[in-house]
Amino acid sequence: MTLRKRLLSGLADLALILYFVFALFPIAWMVILSLKPANQLFSTYFSFTPTLSSYRTVLGDSEGIPFVRFFVNSLVVSVGAVLLSLVVGLPAAYASARWRFKGSENLMFTLLSFRFAPELTVIIPLFVLYQKLGLFDTYVGMIWVLQLVTLPLIVWIMRSYFADLTPELEQAALLDGYTRKQAFFKVALPLVRPGIAAVSLLAFIFAWNNFVFPLILTSSEAQTVTVGALSFLGGDRPKYNLTAAAALVSVVPPLLLALTIQRYLVRGLSFGAVKS
pLDDT digits (tens, 9 = 90+) for 139-186: 999 999 999 899 998 998 888 888 888 888 888 888 888 888 888 888
Helix axes 193-209, 262-269, angle to 10 degrees: 100
**Burial classification of residue 149, based on how many CB atoms lie within 10 Å of its CB (0-12 exposed, 13-18 middle, 19 or more buried):** buried
pTM: 0.84
pLDDT digits (tens, 9 = 90+) for 241-263: 888 999 999 999 988 887 877 76
pLDDT above 60 (res 270): no
* Section 197-211 average pLDDT: 91
Helix axes 67-98, 104-116, angle to 10 degrees: 160
Q: Under DSSP, is residue 119 helix (H, G, I), strand (E, B) or coil?
A: coil
pLDDT digits (tens, 9 = 90+) for 31-78: 998 898 888 877 777 888 888 888 988 888 666 788 899 999 999 999
Alpha-helix residue ranges (DSSP H) falling in the chain: 3-35, 53-60, 67-98, 104-116, 120-133, 139-145, 147-164, 167-175, 180-183, 189-191, 193-209, 212-217, 225-228, 240-250, 252-260, 262-269
Instruction: State the pLDDT at residue 273.
Output: 45
CB-based contacts of 196, cutoff 8 Å, min separation 6: 86, 90, 158, 189, 268
Instruction: State the pLDDT at residue 62.
Output: 64
Cα 197–chain centre separation: 13
Question: How many C-beta atoms lie closer than 10 Å to residue 181's C-beta?
Answer: 9
